[in-house]
């Protein structure tokens, strides 16, 4: 307890100092504005942040967070991160490893014993790196049931399936199921619920006061951006689906301003120890996905770049980090298209090319 308390105090010092220090205004950039033109105006929009050497080099909102009343996107607008959330789920597991509450190679069934025999050899490491072979819970849902599923419902679906895509540990297949189960493991190992653990151990210590693993009826998302899809030539609100309440694989809401604090914490030990960060950022599984030679723990790895995208109904997001160059690009959008990863790479090149 004493070690955790002292670390919390240290994290608060870092977070409070970063809040107190006024960041210099980010310079305008006509080139970035040109790349973001389709997001500007009376349409669902986007937030863009470029961090260079720990400071905002570009920071701007485009378009609308709420189309119906014309609320504009600002750097404080909170978007559903979708699978960008996975890096926080992985960080929660690593924090609990540091606390001595669990082991990265623990059998999954140590924590979720109700799973069938097919899960006997599955480990937390395999869930983190998408090498467990767990079935995709979305394929197991009843299409006629319009109720939202939660992380516990994912477990209930998997309890009935004594089969997997492959023998655990022998292959890679991206798994939302795995990260939903990891959220349940966080709850069991910590004695808290997943959303509260993230809030108390990650978000508040880092000063991410407006970031939530959102639960309807439990919390309110401030400055919320709502999701939209272009249907028959016009933008229609498509903010929630039957899977939008699953937290571990994609339920976090955050802004570029809060994510700047998260990015800063990934460069030092204010949250996780260096050994834990190294684990998260090291290749754990080979993949055949484009621009993803390897997957770590909640991060895609492509040479010097660490990145992750997030896609959910009405939202498309990406964070791309180049730690060696001290460069990060974040694009959050509240629309169903386009995929912003190529856009983030184009934005990053403006700084990468200038440094050559």
Query: Which residues carry out catalysis?
Result: 83
Burial class from Cβ neighbours inside 10 Å (0-12, 13-18, 19+) for residue 104 reads middle
Both tokens of 155, joined, read 């477990």
Give the three-class secondary structure for 208: coil
Q: Enumerate long-range contacts of 107-113, CB under 8 Å, 24 or more apart.
A: 108/132, 108/181, 108/185, 111/184, 111/185, 111/188, 111/189, 112/155, 112/181, 112/184, 112/185, 112/188
3-state secondary structure of 343: helix
Q: How far apart are CA 189 and CA 197, in angstroms?
A: 10
Beta strand 315-322 pairing with 305-312:
antiparallel
> Which of 202, 305, 212, 343 has the alpha carbon at shortest distance from 262?
202
How many residues belong to the chain?
A: 356
Matching residue, tokens 């609320």: 71
Sign, CA torsion 176/181/185/188: positive
Q: How far apart are CA 242 and CA 231, in angstroms?
A: 19
Question: Can you state the angle between helices 86-98 and 274-281, rounded to 10 degrees?
Answer: 140
Structure tokens at 216: 């309807």
Q: 303, 304, 354, 311: which is closest to 332 by C-alpha? A: 311
């Amino acid at each position: 307890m004493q070690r955790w308390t002292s670390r919390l105090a240290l994290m608060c010092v870092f977070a409070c100092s970063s809040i107190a220090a006024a960041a210099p205004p980010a310079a305008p950039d006509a080139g970035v504005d040109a790349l973001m033109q389709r997001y500007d105006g009376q349409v669902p929009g986007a937030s863009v942040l470029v961090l260079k050497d720990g400071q905002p080099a570009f920071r701007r909102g485009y378009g609308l967070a709420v189309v119906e009343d014309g609320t504009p996107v600002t750097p404080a607008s909170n978007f559903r991160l979708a699978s960008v959330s996975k890096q926080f789920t992985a960080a929660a597991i690593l924090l609990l490893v540091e606390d001595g509450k669990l082991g990265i190679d623990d059998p999954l069934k140590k924590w979720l014993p109700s799973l069938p025999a097919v899960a006997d050899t599955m480990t937390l490491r395999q869930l983190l790196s998408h090498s467990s072979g767990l079935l995709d819970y979305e394929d197991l849902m009843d299409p006629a049931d319009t109720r939202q599923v939660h992380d516990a419902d994912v477990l209930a679906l998997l309890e009935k399936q004594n089969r997997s895509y492959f023998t655990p540990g022998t292959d890679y297949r991206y798994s939302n199921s795995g990260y939903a189960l990891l959220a349940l493991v966080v709850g069991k190992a910590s004695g808290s619920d997943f959303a509260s653990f993230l809030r108390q151990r990650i978000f508040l210590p880092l000063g991410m006061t407006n970031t939530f693993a959102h639960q309807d009826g439990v919390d309110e998302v401030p400055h919320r951006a709502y999701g939209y899809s272009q249907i028959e030539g016009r933008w229609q609100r498509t903010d929630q689906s039957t899977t939008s309440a699953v937290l571990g694989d994609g339920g976090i809401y955050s802004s570029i301003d809060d994510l700047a604090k998260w990015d800063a914490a990934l460069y030092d030990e204010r949250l996780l120890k260096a050994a834990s960060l190294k684990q998260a950022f090291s290749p754990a599984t080979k993949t055949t996905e484009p621009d993803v030679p390897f997957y770590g723990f909640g991060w895609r790895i492509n040479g010097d770049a660490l990145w992750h995208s997030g896609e959910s109904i009405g939202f498309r997001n990406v964070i791309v980090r180049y730690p060696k160059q001290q460069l990060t690009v974040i694009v959050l959008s509240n629309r169903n298209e386009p995929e912003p990863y190529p856009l983030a790479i184009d934005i990053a090149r403006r700084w990468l090319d200038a440094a050559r």
